[in-house]
């Protein structure tokens, strides 16, 4: 079967790797020179930078992503790391001497003694969801069924609550609510939009201290957070090399103009130079609305799919500042990655994003050191610093190109409170705005992380109303996030019925 994939981001590459493994002919099309989409590197003045702090889960070979890669013969070196968290009033950083897996719980009880009961209730909830996560991957047995029932009964009282309702029920102090809800700002999500079951999975304790064991009773139990040594771009590069090594093609700097549809079936792709590529199956990636309205044509969709395209909410953009420096900033920030929150009003912050108002970093920002796990990113004796914030795709007042230098200077000023002397040590600077990300990802609206995890929102399904047309990536039904996109592409491949060289008419 000949499969033409439009977009060589992680979703398209993962689908293509499955197809190449099973003997199908794979043709990848991408406008960019390199595969990977937002996982490609930014470069400036002899420095390289990742397009985001890609500390990832599921990379161990006994975890789903790592196991899939190993099945292809891809073995990426990874290193475990953690992240820090700072609010306007206090910080939560791993102690110098390891204080056990529940040190954050104890620290929060010290900081908020009036909310001790709620803190303990949260961690019982957390433990129950971690138990359910673990048991979902285990063999069925009477013992495991009983464990599952006990864990479910522990979370059942909260199952109809959103994150705001849940944290307000447990915590009287808004500062404590921010500890758990704050990460939702990364998804441009209002705590009222997200089911409370999300919180433990975006605040896994192993993310905040790499010394906390991921194993329990000799088995992998918790997610572990890891960087890919040498940079996250090694993942798409490896997948693309796998496809090419099995006879696939990568048509770089090539623009797909139209998905060819005949009698309700995708039969190929027309390129902007007029060439037509015949296909038994077409796979689309990227911005869902752009793909279906521009390349496919809404006339080929049914009412239900059109409604999904109309109603789902993509995330907003990021403003990213990459700096090459001639001193070691890790003297001041021990973690490779740290979130610095500036406001307790998450709902107000999200409303500003969606109305085109940029907070200039005052609501929060993140500092990341990519060369900690990719030393070749910086020349000898120098280091990389990335500072970024979530931001509107388009500004209500002005535009990104004319204001980017001003906004970069403001981020440097804010970050200098954490990294003293920063401005005096900058030797290279690269600013990446929402406009730049639109060009990189070929989206009319930049959506850096995929879709907002709105509770009960339906994202565009992999199987489309057009026969032999599949949709994958961060704006498909799986949502965003590197492991989620990769595993979602594997699920799309399964749904397409293509395993072992077979295939069916969808």
Q: Report which DSSP code applies to 365.
A: E
Question: What is residue 499's predicted lDDT score, i.e. its pLDDT?
Answer: 75
Name residues whose C-beta falls within 8 Å of residue 306's C-beta, 6 or more positions apart in sequence.
298
pLDDT of residue 506: 46
Do the beta carbons of residue 197 and residue 155 sit within 8 Å?
Answer: yes
Whole-angstrom distance, CA of residue 373 vs CA of residue 274? 44
Same domain, 177 and 281: no
Give the per-residue pLDDT at 54. Answer: 75
Q: Given this model, what pLDDT does residue 53 score?
A: 67
Same structural domain, 437 and 457: no
Model confidence at 52: pLDDT above 90: no
The Cα 222–Cα 355 span in angstroms is: 38
Q: Which of 224, 252, 276 is the last residue of a domain?
A: 224
- Assess whether 107 and 215 both reside in one domain: yes
- Biggest CA pair distance of the chain: 69
Q: With respect to residue 53, please indicate whether it lies within any of the assigned structural domains.
A: no
Which pair of structure tokens corresponds to residue 185? 């700002």
**Same structural domain, 295 and 360:** no
If asked whether residues 210 and 157 sit together in one domain, one would say yes
State the pLDDT confidence band at 482, using cuts at 50, 70 and 90: very high
Residue 387 pLDDT > 80: yes
Distance CA 42, CA 324 (A): 12
9 pLDDT more than 60: yes
C-alpha–C-alpha distance, residues 390 and 316, integer Å:
7
**Boundary of a domain, candidates 441, 460, 493:** 441
- On the question of pLDDT at 500 being above 80, the answer is no
What integer pLDDT is reported at residue 335 of this predicted model?
A: 93
- Mean pLDDT score, 475-484: 94
Q: How far apart are CA 407 and CA 111, in angstroms?
A: 34
**What's the domain range around 21?**
2-39+58-76+230-313+451-501
pLDDT over 60 (residue 502): no
CA distance 29 to 26: 10
Q: Is residue 191 one of the residues assigned to a domain?
A: yes
Residue 369 · residue 342 · CB < 8 Å: no
Residue 100 class from Cβ within 10 Å (0-12 exposed, 13-18 middle, 19+ buried)? exposed
- Regarding whether 478 and 407 lie in a shared domain, the answer is no
Query: Are 275 and 251 contained in the same domain?
Result: yes
Q: Given a cut of 50, is residue 224 above it in pLDDT?
A: yes
- Coil, strand, or helix at residue 274? coil
Helix, strand, or coil here: 470? strand
Arithmetic mean of pLDDT, 488-495:
97
C-alpha span between 418 and 421 (Å, rounded): 9
Inside any domain, residue 414: yes
Residue 505 has pLDDT above 90, yes or no: no
CA distances from 10 to 36, 320, 362, 413, 484 (A): 6, 21, 32, 35, 10
Length of the chain: 506
Domain assignment of residue 413, yes or no: yes
pLDDT in tens, 144-197: 999 999 999 999 999 999 999 999 999 999 999 999 999 999 999 999 999 999
The pLDDT value recorded for residue 504 is 44
Q: At what angle do helices 174-181 and 116-135 cross, to 10 degrees?
A: 20
- 254/173 same-domain check: no
- For residue 313, the Cα-to-chain-centroid distance in whole angstroms is 15
Indicate the SS3 state at residue 359: coil
Residue 86 lies in a domain: no
Host H or E run for residue 294 = none
Q: Do both 336 and 276 map to the same domain?
A: no
Helix ranges (H only) for 82-233 are 103-111, 116-135, 142-155, 163-170, 174-181, 198-202
Q: What is the 3-state secondary structure (H, E, C) of 434-488?
A: HHHHHHHHCCCCCCCCCECCCCCCCCCCCECCCECEEECCCCCCCCCCHHHHHHH
Report the C-alpha gap between 501 and 226 in whole angstroms. 33
With 90 as the cut, is the pLDDT of residue 129 above it?
yes
For residue 307, the domain's CATH number is 3.50.50.60
Higher-scoring residue by pLDDT: 234, 446: 234
Query: Helices (H), strands (E): how many in the chain?
Result: 15, 21
SS3 state at 282: strand
Buried b (16+ CB within 10 A) or exposed e, 236-269: bbbbbebbbebebebbeebebeebbbeeebbbbb
CA 11 to chain centre: 12
Residue 337 · residue 83 · CB < 8 Å:
yes
User: Domain tally for the chain?
Assistant: 3
Residue 359 lies in a domain: yes
Q: Does residue 256 share a domain with residue 324? A: no
Half-sphere exposure of residue 70: CA atoms within 13 angstroms, side-chain side: 11
- Give the integer Cα–Cα distance in Å for 462 and 471: 5
Whether residue 198 sits in one domain with residue 168:
yes
Residue 503 has pLDDT above 50, yes or no: no
179: left (phi over 0), alpha (psi -120 to 50) or beta: alpha
Q: Would you say residue 81 lies in a domain? A: no
Q: Of 224, 249, 270, which one is at a domain's C-terminal end?
A: 224
Residue 106: per-residue pLDDT:
98
Instruction: Tell me how far apart the alpha carbons of residues 230 and 221 are, in angstroms, rounded to a whole number.
Output: 27
Average pLDDT, rounded, for the chain: 95
Count of other CB atoms within 10 angstroms of residue 215: 11
Task: Residue 226: name the closest of 59, 49, 38 by CA.
Answer: 59
Same domain, 187 and 128: yes
Q: What is the radius of gyration, based on Cα positions, of the chain?
A: 23
Please indicate, yes or no, if residue 287 is contained in any of the structural domains: yes
């Amino acid at each position: 079967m000949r499969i033409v994939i439009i977009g060589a981001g992680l979703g398209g590459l993962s689908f293509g790797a499955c197809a190449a493994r099973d003997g199908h002919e794979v043709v990848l099309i991408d406008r960019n020179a390199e595969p990977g989409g937002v996982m490609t590197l930014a470069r400036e003045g002899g420095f390289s930078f990742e397009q985001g702090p890609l500390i990832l889960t599921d990379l161990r070979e006994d975890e789903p992503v790592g196991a899939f890669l190993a099945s292809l013969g891809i073995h990426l070196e990874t290193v475990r790391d953690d992240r820090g968290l700072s609010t306007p009033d206090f910080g939560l950083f791993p102690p110098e001497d390891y204080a056990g897996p529940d040190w954050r719980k104890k620290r929060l009880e010290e900081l908020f003694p009036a909310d001790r009961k709620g803190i303990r209730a949260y961690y019982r909830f957390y433990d129950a969801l971690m138990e359910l996560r673990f048991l979902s991957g285990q063999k069925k047995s009477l013992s495991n069924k009983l464990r599952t029932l006990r864990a479910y009964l522990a979370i059942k009282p909260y199952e109809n609550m959103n994150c705001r309702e849940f944290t307000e029920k447990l915590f009287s102090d808004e500062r404590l609510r921010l500890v758990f809800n704050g990460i939702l700002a990364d998804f441009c999500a209002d705590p009222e939009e997200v089911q409370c079951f999300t919180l433990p999975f975006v605040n896994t304790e192993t993310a905040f201290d790499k010394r906390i064991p991921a194993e329990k009773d000799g088995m992998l139990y918790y997610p572990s957070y890891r960087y890919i040594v040498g940079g996250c771009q090694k993942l798409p590069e490896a997948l693309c090399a796998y496809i090419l090594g099995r006879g696939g093609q990568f048509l770089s700097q090539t623009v797909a103009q139209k998905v060819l549809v005949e009698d309700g079936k995708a039969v190929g792709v027309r390129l902007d130079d007029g060439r037509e590529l015949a296909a038994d199956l077409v796979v689309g990636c990227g911005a869902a609305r752009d793909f279906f309205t521009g390349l496919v044509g809404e006339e080929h969709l049914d009412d239900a799919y059109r409604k999904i395209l109309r109603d789902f909410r993509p995330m907003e953009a990021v403003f990213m500042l990459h700096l090459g420096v001639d001193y070691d900033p890790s003297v001041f920030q021990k973690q490779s990655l740290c979130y610095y929150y500036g406001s307790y009003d998450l709902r107000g912050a999200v409303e500003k994003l969606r109305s085109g108002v940029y907070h200039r970093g005052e609501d929060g920002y993140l500092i990341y050191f990519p060369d900690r796990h990719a030393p070749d990113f910086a020349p000898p004796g120098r280091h990389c610093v990335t500072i970024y914030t979530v931001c509107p795709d388009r500004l209500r007042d002005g535009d990104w190109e004319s204001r980017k230098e001003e906004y970069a200077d403001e981020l440097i000023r804010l970050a200098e409170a954490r990294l003293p002397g920063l401005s005096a040590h900058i030797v290279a600077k690269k600013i990446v705005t929402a406009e730049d990300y639109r060009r990189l990802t070929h989206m009319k609206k930049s959506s850096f992380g995929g879709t907002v995890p709105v509770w009960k929102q339906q994202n565009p399904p992999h199987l489309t109303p057009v026969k032999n047309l599949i949709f994958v990536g961060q704006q498909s039904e799986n949502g965003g996030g590197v492991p989620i996109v990769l595993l979602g592409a594997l699920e799309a491949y399964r749904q397409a019925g293509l395993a072992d060289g077979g295939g069916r008419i969808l």
